[in-house]
Structure 1
Amino acid sequence: MSGARSENKIVLVKRKTRLEELVVRYNTIQQAQFYIERLGADFSDYVSEDFNYRAAVQQAVIELGALGRVQVLDRQHVPNFIFGEEDTVVAVGQDGLVANILKYLNGQPLIGVNPDPGRWDGVLLPFTVKDLKLIIPDVLRGRRQLTEVTLAKAQLNDGQSLYGVNDLFIGRNTHVSARYQLQVSGQTEQQSSSGVIVSTGLGSTGWLKSVLAGAAGISKRAAEMKVMSMLEDTDSSRGNAATGTQDPPEIRLPWDHSKLYFTVREPFPSRATSAELVFGQIGEESPLRITSQMPENGVIFSDGVESDFLEFNSGVEATISLAEKRGRLVV
């Protein structure tokens, strides 16, 4: 844990509310209201959420202003913002905002603030605005406990890279199958699938849990319905997808877990492609290498932010590994 900071600079990151995004789309609040109510939804919920969020941000600025120099930053500017080594970062929003900020930091402590506890559970939002006046002084003096978070990293052979806090997605930006060569732990396979997901310990309760629960549920029901026995299967490399009958285990890995896990979505076995390397670990000595065979629309994005992506088209090789840096969350 580091010592006291020489300058009390605090970067407060906020996001657009659903109402603000609607106004951007429909130009006015009145037009946004007409659109929402025409669909039978409750527009007052959007107004209430926006009011509470704005009030929380305003109060946070006041609380933080009494403790140091405050800079307010909108989420959309985070990828291009240069954080100072001594900065303390405060995220006011949902869990996704915390995750999307963390990958752009380089050791700066990040504090997740829940702006509306009655609305959001907030696994990554342990504090409220009222807690800031107690938490910030401890952080600035280096006296607050920090939890380290393992990050994933995608490194392309053209020098570009992208970090993931929860997960990375490698595939196509459409519903068309992705074609690529996958290599891990000395094994290589040509695959066609809906894409590859790489999950961290923090992301183990998200996309990874969803994929494993779906796979286990399909396997169980297919066995009960004897689906596989009704399908032609002349290719022995396909294996038996109907062997599992147990409910999926509860997935909850520590946030600083020393492994990443990859899962292949909907792999399609054929004469040219296989479906054996569909799940596995990625460690310090065993990175995952994927070579794109997609002429267009190949992408790699992280944490569900599709607008912030790397192009991943034919000939580009991505090395997926544990990141050289870790996130630091204030708890």
Structure 2
Amino acid sequence: MSTRSSENKIILIKRKTRLEELVVRYNTIQQAQFYIERLGADFSDYISEDFHYRKAVESAVIELGAVGRVQLLERQHVPNFIFGDQDTVVVLGPDGLVANTLKYLHEQPLIGVNPDPQRWDGVLLPFTVKDLRHLVPEVFRGQRQVREVTLAKAQLNDGQSLYGVNDLFVGRKTHVSARYQVELNGVAEQQSSSGIIISTGMGSTGWLKSVLAGAVGIARSAAQLQTAGAAAGGARAANVAEAAGIEQRLPWDHPNLYFTVREPFPSRTTSAGLVFGQISSRAPLKITSQMPEDGVIFSDGVESDFLEFNSGVEATITLGEKRGRLVV
């Protein structure tokens, strides 16, 4: 009788190294080296990273091949790949590759592997290549703990949708002023801004933390330059993030999303009142584009994988109906 490890398929996901991307751009390693060294950078670091990553890929194929059927998949093919319900997914980091893969899965378990622990911190990469031979059979048998991850979802009124593991960005492709109407809990507002960021619990220590830290710092500094009354207002602004618990790491399965509006511009036709808030399954955020061109929605910093968001298109931002599942 066959075992589950021989029945299930293992999808091993890798990415191009910086050196490989340079060779694509400059045709040869020699030309890539000339370009990098002309700028005063250390080309040996590119060589070292490429060597260790390739070695990790080769070793991972061998280790996984001992416990199941392996299919190697390049990062650029992930959005269009059809994952089987029983597939187990192994990602050779860095962390961003884990996040960019997780949103395309349908609750298949994902194992994050650190290909070079001396180089990558690996918050989402708790395992090494040497762990795989013993780890994967345990995953097959359901003997490994799995952490669930809340996903953000943008659903357009034309039927298209996009998920985000860390965050979604809604705005202009060029990051110049975006025009749209935003609505939450029955309150609607016309806005012009540099875009809206919607963050998950996993993304709370990333883009969201950066935006809030900047807002709090500006409020505090402005308060020091103004009157005592303005200082009190600055302190209250700083307490918004603290009261929401955003300055601390939120759990990955946090039941809410948070949105922040970047650089909102109040004018005769636009407002800046609805610039920060919480999104739940009962209180989605609705955004209607007023941008004739270059409106986009992308997730997790991958601008090349986006939804067009031009005039008349409405996006409903809410929690995804599926969850990511990270093996720990």
For residue 284 of structure 1, the aligned residue among 276, 281, 296 is 281
Q: How many residues align?
A: 320
**Residue equivalent to 2:212:** 212
**Partner secondary structure for residue 281 of structure 1:** strand
**Partner secondary structure for residue 100 of structure 1:** helix
Distance in 2 separating the partners of 1:80 and 1:67: 26
Structure 1 residue 46 and structure 2 residue 46: aligned?
A: yes
Amino acid at match of 2:272: A
**Residue equivalent to 1:182:** 182
- 4+ aligned runs moved over 2 Å, structure 1: 3-6, 225-230, 240-251
**Partner secondary structure for residue 203 of structure 1:** helix
Matches within 5 A, 1:72-151: 72-151=72-151
**Residue equivalent to 2:15:** 15
Higher helix proportion: 2
Matches within 5 A, 1:305-320: 305-320=302-317
**Residue equivalent to 1:59:** 59
Instruction: State TM-score, norm by structure 1.
Output: 0.93
Q: Which runs of 5+ in 2 are unaligned?
A: none
Superimposed CA distance per residue, residues 122-158 of structure 1 (whole angstroms, 9 cap, x where no aligned partner): 1000000011112101001111110100000000000
Amino acid at match of 2:148: E
**Residue equivalent to 2:71:** 71
Distance in 1 separating the partners of 2:228 and 2:112: 47
**Partner secondary structure for residue 317 of structure 2:** strand
Please say if residues 150 and 254 of structure 2, whose CA atoms lie closer than 8 Å, have aligned partners that are also in contact.
yes
**Residue equivalent to 1:322:** 319
Distance in 2 separating the partners of 1:307 and 1:189: 29
Distance in 1 separating the partners of 2:44 and 2:93: 20
Please say if residues 228 and 241 of structure 1, whose CA atoms lie closer than 8 Å, have aligned partners that are also in contact.
no
**Residue equivalent to 1:298:** 295
Structure 1 residue 171 and structure 2 residue 168: aligned?
A: no
Instruction: For residue 326 of structure 1, report the CA deviation from its aligned partner.
Output: 0.3
Superimposed CA distance per residue, residues 190-241 of structure 1 (whole angstroms, 9 cap, x where no aligned partner): 00000000000010010111111111011111111239999xxxxxxxxx66
Distance in 1 separating the partners of 2:255 and 2:114: 28
* Identical counterparts, % of pairs: 77
Distance in 2 separating the partners of 1:288 and 1:49: 42
**Partner secondary structure for residue 136 of structure 2:** helix
Instruction: For residue 5 of structure 1, report the CA deviation from its aligned partner.
Output: 6.7
Distance in 2 separating the partners of 1:68 and 1:5: 5
Structure 1 residue 193 and structure 2 residue 190: aligned?
A: no
**Residue equivalent to 1:36:** 36
Q: Which runs of 5+ in 1 are unaligned?
A: 231-239
Residue 228 to residue 314, structure 1, CA distance change in 2 (3 Å): farther
Distance in 2 separating the partners of 1:243 and 1:285: 28
Amino acid at match of 1:49: E
Amino acid at match of 1:44: S
